[in-house]
Structure 1
Amino acid sequence: MPQKPPIGRDTRLCMSLSGRPGNAGSRLHNYLYDALGLDYIYKSFSTRDLPAAVAGIRALDIRGSAISMPFKEAVIPLIDALEPSALAIDSVNTIVNDDGHLTGYNTDYTACRQLIEASPADPAKPFLLRGSGGMAKAVVAALRDAGFTQGTIAARNPEAGPALAERYGFAWAAELPAQGAPLLVNVTPLGMEGPDAEALAFPEAMIAAAEVAFDVVAQPAQTPFIQAAIGAGKPVFSGAEVIVLQAVEQFALYTGVRPSAELVIEAARFAHGDATAARLAAATMKG
């Protein structure tokens, strides 16, 4: 195993910006740096001054930054260029700094499509998705590109909800409809650690009637929605899996190194636990 150099003046810093920063991303990236002997370090941050934070990425030559809720759209005017994955859905979850030139990417899309295609969800059947923010754009695009043609986006935002639905050819509802769908997808903070931790994204009866549950919330991996779905015997996939798969893409962008699937599973186990690592194996090693 290569030996990681001690932290010094040549050590590259990578980071994340989130409204509610956690430890899982730092644990995963730093585990991979250590395992591969790379002279990098990763730290999570929050901010009340997004323009100043992005200026700091540029001024301090920070190699890259993950971007999480609620900054994925607001960060766009503050950077220099958008890679096609971010441009297509107007949402950035990754910034790469090349000598002061900041480029935005969206690795959420890639991760979501991998998980959707590896899941038992049937694209011939409809989905019901709750939410319309930056992450919702990545998930809806991934659903469309995975072959889904029927779906409803439930979102209270009277501008973002209809616009997202129209853009990808799906229906919109301001409130959750009475009728659920075989695939339920939560792309809101409901169930996330903090003030919404006890909230259930969908009614229990709707969960019981569904076939597959997908929650993009990563902390905790088992939200009330996911716990209810597991209790009802439904296949689930979670934000913890999304965050691992998209983080691997970020890692490759920052370092130029792509870790093996086996090493990714080790890092996922370290950062998120054995259950997530086992499910991740099915997605990363598919085919």
Structure 2
Amino acid sequence: MKPPIGRDTKLCMSLSARPGNAGSRLHNHLYEALGLDYVYKSFSTTDLPAAVGGIRALGIRGCAISMPFKEAVIPLIDRLEASAQAIDSVNTIVNDDGALTGYNTDYVAVRDLLARRMVDPATPFILRGSGGMAKAVVAALRDLGFQKGLIVARNALAGQAMADDYGFAWQADLPATGAPLLINVTPLGMEGADENALAFPESFIATSDITFDVVALPADTPFIRAAQKAGKQTISGAEVIVLQAVEQFVLYTGIRPSPAEIRSAADFAHGPGAAKALA
């Protein structure tokens, strides 16, 4: 049984422009299931340096970092673990007695998902996006051996630089035709102003084989729904967020939950079937 919250309870948290409940539900469910004296709370901030200073000063054990802070947080912490250093993007901070280390568990989750789904590295892809999460996805694709890829990003500086760094092509707008693997790493389809936006045209979806949307809120984005309707294989942002959250949980607590515990927490946080990637 989880101890009652007290002075020895360890706090973990998240920082995001659009805080949600899923991360808190998943972590807290696992704390309860494993009897750990931890609690997890999501936050937003308009003062990132002050928020990171609070992590250090208050002894907060760990912090998940989401858009738009994944790159901006780097100058504010003490060191980068190899995965974060390689892509200059942090999605996790671990506090060891005031020393803050940045990790990137997004990269691990994407790499493992694509490997588990046995997506052939010879598959050409189109990826939309150029932010911190896009770097994690592109790095995972490269490290899995993908070579035929196009990055579509209106931010020419970021898009071209990422394409050059990882050995893929870049252009500002979508090409005339699609690709077998379509990947959305933009806010298109996310709850809020873009929730009704379709990340790729239906004509692209019709000629694709696999569709991958990193948007987790909601998991059934317009892109995912259109792909499912067309009978395509899909990978959702809920699957990514579950696997990356498990890696964060391990970093914070030193304990790796069992597959059954992960499935239970994922279903509690995201709804039934969220952890199908673990099957």
Structure 1, residues 220-263: CA drift from partner, whole Å, max 9, x if none? 00100000000000010111111110011100100111101111
State the alpha-carbon separation in 1 of the partners of residues 83 and 180 from structure 2. 28
C-alpha contact 2:116 2:277 (8 A) present in aligned 1: no
Structure 1, residues 190-236: CA drift from partner, whole Å, max 9, x if none? 00001000000000110111000000000000100000000000010
Please report how far the alpha carbon of residue 91 of structure 1 lies from its aligned counterpart in structure 2 after TM superposition. 0.1
C-alpha contact 1:121 1:211 (8 A) present in aligned 2: no
The match for 2:74 among 73, 76, 83 is: 76
Question: What amino acid maps onto 2:198 in structure 1?
Answer: L
Is 1:8 aligned to 2:1, yes or no?
Answer: no
| Corresponding residue for residue 154 of structure 1 | 152
The match for 1:52 among 50, 53, 58 is: 50
| Corresponding residue for residue 277 of structure 2 | 280
Question: What amino acid maps onto 1:164 in structure 2?
Answer: M
Is 1:236 aligned to 2:221, yes or no?
Answer: no
Please report how far the alpha carbon of residue 120 of structure 1 lies from its aligned counterpart in structure 2 after TM superposition. 4.8
State the alpha-carbon separation in 1 of the partners of residues 160 and 230 from structure 2. 31
Could you list the structure 1 runs, at least 4 aligned residues long, displaced by more than 3 angstroms after superposition: none
Is 1:113 aligned to 2:111, yes or no?
Answer: yes
Instruction: From the superposition, tell whether residues 264 and 4 of structure 1 become closer, same or farther in structure 2 (CA, over 3 Å).
Output: same
Question: What amino acid maps onto 1:55 in structure 2?
Answer: G
Please report how far the alpha carbon of residue 274 of structure 1 lies from its aligned counterpart in structure 2 after TM superposition. 1.1
Structure 1, residues 160-219: CA drift from partner, whole Å, max 9, x if none? 100100111100011011121100000000000010000000001101110000000000
| Corresponding residue for residue 185 of structure 2 | 187
State the alpha-carbon separation in 1 of the partners of residues 104 and 208 from structure 2. 29
Please report how far the alpha carbon of residue 6 of structure 1 lies from its aligned counterpart in structure 2 after TM superposition. 0.4
Q: TM (normalized to structure 2)?
A: 0.99
C-alpha contact 1:193 1:219 (8 A) present in aligned 2: yes
State the alpha-carbon separation in 1 of the partners of residues 164 and 116 from structure 2. 26
> SS where residue 25 of structure 1 aligns?
helix
C-alpha contact 1:120 1:212 (8 A) present in aligned 2: no
Listed as ranges, the matches of 1:1-287 within 5 Å are: 3-277=1-275, 279-282=276-279
Question: What amino acid maps onto 2:126 in structure 1?
Answer: L
State the alpha-carbon separation in 2 of the partners of residues 121 and 208 from structure 1. 18
Which consecutive residues of structure 1, in runs of 5 or more, have no partner in the other structure? 283-287
Q: TM (normalized to structure 1)?
A: 0.96
State the alpha-carbon separation in 2 of the partners of residues 179 and 148 from structure 1. 19
State the alpha-carbon separation in 2 of the partners of residues 146 and 107 from structure 1. 16
Please tell me the root mean square deviation across aligned C-alpha atoms, in Å. 0.8
Which consecutive residues of structure 2, in runs of 5 or more, have no partner in the other structure? none
Question: What amino acid maps onto 1:29 in structure 2?
Answer: H
Question: What amino acid maps onto 1:60 in structure 2?
Answer: L
Question: What amino acid maps onto 2:63 in structure 1?
Answer: S
| Corresponding residue for residue 285 of structure 1 | none
> SS where residue 274 of structure 2 aligns?
helix
C-alpha contact 1:151 1:171 (8 A) present in aligned 2: yes
Question: What amino acid maps onto 1:70 in structure 2?
Answer: P
Question: What amino acid maps onto 2:38 in structure 1?
Answer: Y
State the alpha-carbon separation in 2 of the partners of residues 60 and 125 from structure 1. 47
C-alpha contact 1:15 1:66 (8 A) present in aligned 2: yes
Question: What amino acid maps onto 2:278 in structure 1?
Answer: A
Please report how far the alpha carbon of residue 121 of structure 1 lies from its aligned counterpart in structure 2 after TM superposition. 2.9
Please report how far the alpha carbon of residue 64 of structure 1 lies from its aligned counterpart in structure 2 after TM superposition. 0.5
> SS where residue 246 of structure 1 aligns?
helix
State the alpha-carbon separation in 1 of the partners of residues 117 and 177 from structure 2. 22
